Structure 1
Amino acid sequence: MVRVPLNEQQRQRGELLGQALRAARGERSMVEIAAASGISTETLRKIEKGRIPTPAFFTVAAVADAVGLSLDALCREVAAAQAAHQRIPA
C-alpha cells in the first residue's frame, strides 16, 4: 500500500500536536511519560518534535492521559495554535 504524502497543513498540525503535548508534560521526564503511556521514549520524542505528524489515536490518547490533558482540551489547543499560525504572514 502506497501512503499519500502529507500536505503542509497536516505536517504543521503534527508539529503543533507535539508542542502541545510537550508543554503539558512540563518538568516531568520523557521516560516517565513514555512509561505511563506505554510507548517508547523515542516514540514520544518523535511525536513531540513533530517527526510523527500522524500518530495513532490510541497513542495520542495515552500520552494526553499521562500528562493530564483531555482529548477535548488537546484538540482545542492544537486548533487554536493552527489558526494563530495561519494568521501570521510568512
Structure 2
Amino acid sequence: MVRTPLTPEERERGEQLGRLLRAARGERSMTEVAAVAGVSAETLRKIETGRAPTPAFFTVAALAGALGLSMDDLVGRCEPAAAA
C-alpha cells in the first residue's frame, strides 16, 4: 500500500504537536513520560522532532494524559497558522 504524501499543513500541525508535547514535558525525561503514557521513548522522540507528524489518536491521547494536557487544548493549539 502506498501512503499519500502529507500536505504542508499536516506537516506543520505535526511539528506544532511535537513542540507542544516537548514544552509540556519540561524537565521530565522522555523515558519517564513515555512509560507513563505506555508508548516507547522512540515514539515520543519521533513525535517531538516531527519525524512522526501523524501519530495515532490513542498515542496522542495517552501522551496528553501523561502530561496533564486536554485533547481540546492540543487540537486548538495545533491549528496551522493559515487556519487560525
Q: Normalising by the residue count of structure 1, what TM-score does the alignment of the two structures yield?
A: 0.86
Secondary structure class of the residue paired with 2:72: helix
* Cα distance, 1:30 vs structure 2: 0.5
* Cα distance, 1:76 vs structure 2: 1.3
Which residue of structure 2 lines up, in the alignment, with residue 52 of structure 1? 52
Unaligned runs of 5+ in 2: none
Unaligned runs of 5+ in 1: none
Which residue of structure 1 lines up, in the alignment, with residue 43 of structure 2? 43
Between the two proteins, the alignment pairs up a number of residues equal to: 83
Secondary structure class of the residue paired with 2:43: helix
CA distance in 2, matches of 1:78, 1:24: 14
Which residue of structure 2 lines up, in the alignment, with residue 19 of structure 1? 19
* Cα distance, 1:72 vs structure 2: 0.5
CA distance in 2, matches of 1:51, 1:36: 21
Which structure: greater helix fraction?
1
Secondary structure class of the residue paired with 1:75: helix
Which residue of structure 1 lines up, in the alignment, with residue 65 of structure 2? 65
Identity of aligned residues (%): 65
Structure number, greater radius of gyration: 1
Give 4+ residue runs of structure 1 displaced > 2 Å after superposition.
none
| RMSD value, Cα | 1.3
Q: Normalising by the residue count of structure 2, what TM-score does the alignment of the two structures yield?
A: 0.92
**Pairing of 1:70-89 with structure 2 (within 5 A):** 70-79=70-79, 82-83=80-81, 86=82
